[in-house]
Chains A and B, each alone.
Chain A
């Protein structure tokens, strides 16, 4: 509330005509006395803004940091004390050693990675092909195909959970990683996103390529792909995060603990080896750190894709 109050007191319109507002705009991140650039806060407002930002930052990352600290704390250190400590007194990697001994974390991570990479690859290939056809080519029945893709967006995966499992079982893929991977291999939303991106390619360019004698494959490789790479990276990132974080479907498909993916493995660890929370914390860090690093590396691409109005919802 203080933020709002300080801001309100300074947002009165400028009354001095001798100093045109346009000349007062500077590159400072805050607004000076006579400036009317409303998109910039005042100095006091800026400080308040950073204050709120830091508080929100604490709320958003505290659980992760606390979990990280817990995973590094020794057996003698109290992990539940208040106020919580984020720096272990005697950092140790024992918990990580312990979790690797208790459950096959590396196998689980490998399984998650396989499913994730497979999902990204198949979605990229098939969504680009399908998106190109739907976005840039004309053919009979296109409207029907589009309608089919759109209608599946209304259908939550949870609704078809039971019969999806029956399908996968009848294919002989129950309790296999193929069974985990297969239903998500081509997402309708990804095809539609790629179609939207392909629609943005100027048709002149494609026509010129046809005149130059480029076949479908060459057009895809040299014209379509460079044009839709931005969208493709968003699709890839979401496909990977979705596959890596998915819990319900692998939980239903996999029954053998040796075949678990990381998420199911973490739940298994936390419900069956609850005695030592430090060890569980170490396990969750193994699941968390790769995805955070991946996102941190690709976040520029991601937010640019979002700004282009391509949020997946």
Chain B
């Protein structure tokens, strides 16, 4: 049943393939090569081996950037794994006007990070609403400079990321909750399981797969963080650039005529390896059963062989 010319499918996928090669694989290979050079704009390029990577360890900006990104990951992953699940449970019920709530909870997701970061900047600036509130309740005498302290700035950015991400991951969970039957809930309730117990023993195991997916997505997204920190610090990366994320460092290293393209590529490569870690962990965890089964099977086979051997000997 093939009434098309043999080349039709190839023509159809050609644009996609060209784009993937031109704007994903080629730049990636280029990054790998550049990471071992001292490339700068308008200058001859020469290979420098691992010099860029050696430089990384002595570069305190890189250490700060990695620290920022890792703290971001450590705080964001638990928050954005559980809070959206609770939110999804909240909007999962079929009650009147729930569609309105779902839609508005999604607004922060579709708004540009720049726009909401500017709002955040107003809220948390020295004269901003949050400080006015703190003063109103008499908690502080002098305004807290949220945006010019390294950790407070990172905290504000994390708050922004969590607030903006809630709706996105809520939708991921919603799709999963739709597939979760009510029978288990009813059976558990019959056995006298309370609401809290059912959440931990029915809902959470039921959405285990999506939960893994969400925590990996959050993990990778947190490592790629850029806009929030950039806008909140006005592009400076906080005091002394110590609140820079890795992507901010890449961007600031690679830009302009003095850009250290080779060095920026080396940082990019480190970032890439870091984003692969959570994926690898999930791969191992998901295939744990397979691995264990494989091991068990091998043990069984060996035992069987031994049995036959002893029988043959006897």
Contacts and interface: CB of A to CB of B under 8 A. Distances in A.
Interface string B242-264: 00000100110011000101001
Interface in A130-159: 130, 132-134, 137-139, 142, 145, 148-149, 152, 154-156, 158-159
A142 B8 CA distance: 13
Interface residues of A, number: 103
Contacts of B90: 49, 52-53, 56
> Chain B, interface size: which category?
35 or more
Given A38-B186, A82-B135, A145 B271 contact: no
A252 B255 contact: yes
Contact of B189 (A13, A60, A67, A295): A13
Given A57-B104, A60-B108, A311-B175, A38 B20 contact: no
Interface string A178-216: 000011011010010000000000000001001000011
Interface string A296-310: 100100010011010
Interface stretch (A39-47, A95-103, A225-233): A39-47
A183 B196 CA distance: 48
A183 B8 CA distance: 25
B16 A191 contact: yes
A223 interface: no
B308 interface: no
Nearest to A213: B3
Contacts, number: 293
Nearest to B121: A270
B47 interface: no
A152 B119 contact: no
A161 B250 contact: yes
A80 B129 contact: yes
Tell me the dominant secondary structure on chain B's binding face. Answer: helix
B103 to A, nearest CB: 5
A137 B163 CA distance: 43
29 contacts: A4-B195, A7-B195, A36-B189, A49-B90, A59-B163, A63-B120, A63-B123, A64-B111, A80-B132, A82-B133, A83-B133, A129-B12, A137-B8, A155-B28, A159-B271, A162-B34, A167-B22, A191-B16, A248-B247, A263-B112, A263-B114, A266-B112, A284-B118, A292-B107, A292-B111, A295-B110, A299-B106, A303-B171, A313-B172
B16 A126 contact: yes
A235 to B, nearest CB: 13
A74 interface: no
B286 interface: no
A87 interface: no
A231 to B, nearest CB: 14
Interface of A: 4, 7-8, 11-13, 29-30, 36, 38-41, 46, 49-50, 52-53, 56-57, 59-61, 63-64, 66-67, 70, 79-84, 126-127, 129-130, 132-134, 137-139, 142, 145, 148-149, 152, 154-156, 158-167, 182-183, 185-186, 188, 191, 207, 210, 215-216, 241, 244-245, 247-248, 251-252, 262-264, 266-267, 270-271, 277, 280-281, 284, 287-288, 291-292, 295-296, 299, 303, 306-307, 309, 311, 313
Interface of B: 1-4, 6, 8-10, 12-13, 15-17, 19-28, 30-31, 34, 87, 90-91, 93-96, 99, 101-108, 110-116, 118-123, 127-129, 131-133, 135-136, 163, 166-167, 171-172, 174-175, 178, 182, 185-186, 189-190, 192, 194-196, 213, 217, 220, 224, 226-227, 230-231, 234-235, 247, 250-251, 254-255, 259, 261, 264-265, 268-269, 271-272, 275-276, 279
Interface pairs A-B: 5 shortest CB-CB: A82-B132, A133-B12, A160-B27, A130-B16, A163-B30
A244 B112 contact: yes
B114 A247 contact: yes
Contact of A156 (B13, B111, B171, B220): B220
A245 B112 CA distance: 4
Given A63-B120, A129-B13, A156 B1 contact: no
B195 to A, nearest CB: 5
Contacts of B23: 164, 167, 182-183
A295 B108 CA distance: 11
B129 A186 contact: no
A4 B259 CA distance: 56
Nearest to A207: B1
Contacts of B2: 138
Given A57-B104, A149-B16, A164 B27 contact: yes
